[in-house]
Amino acid sequence: EPEVTQTPSHQVTQMGQEVILRCVPISNHLYFYWYRQILGQKVEFLVSFYNNEISEKSEIFDDQFSVERPDGSNFTLKIRSTKLEDSAMYFCASIGTGANYGYTFGSGTRLTVV
């Protein structure tokens, strides 16, 4: 079964450093998302991406965050200057057309900011 692949599985970074979280969505999917889950909290929407541009972003997704699909297969989330409160699981997800319930999530990247 096709899957969404995320790397790395765990990233530890120092506060103020830049991190890039990587995702390979399912190949024929067109809509891409990043969600995050702070330990013990809800899964929260960060950003959606379609046709090489952001379709929607949440209040969390401020100027420190950016997304990119650099080469037609990878989908990245960059955090420019990490803060302690950015520590969370970050999930990439994708869906095909005509199925806005059928998200496939990756296994996540656990980001720890120290």
Contact between 34 and other proteins per CB under 8 A: no
Can you list the alpha helix ranges (DSSP code H) found in the chain? none
Find the binding residues for other proteins in span 52-111 (CB under 8 A). Answer: 55-56, 58, 89, 91, 93, 95, 97-98, 100-108, 110
Instruction: State the nearest-atom distance from the C-beta of 16 to other proteins, in Å.
Output: 26
The residue within the footprint of other proteins, chosen from 11, 13, 22, 45 (CB under 8 A), is 45
Asked if residue 78 lies in contact with residue 19, where contact means CB atoms within 8 angstroms, the answer is: yes
What is the C-alpha to C-alpha distance for residues 67 and 33, in angstroms, rounded to an integer?
10
Q: Minimum CB separation from other proteins for residue 81, in Å? A: 25
**SS3 assignment, position 86:** helix
The owner of tokens 């997304």 is 67
Which of 19, 35, 77, 79 touches other proteins (CB under 8 A)?
A: 35
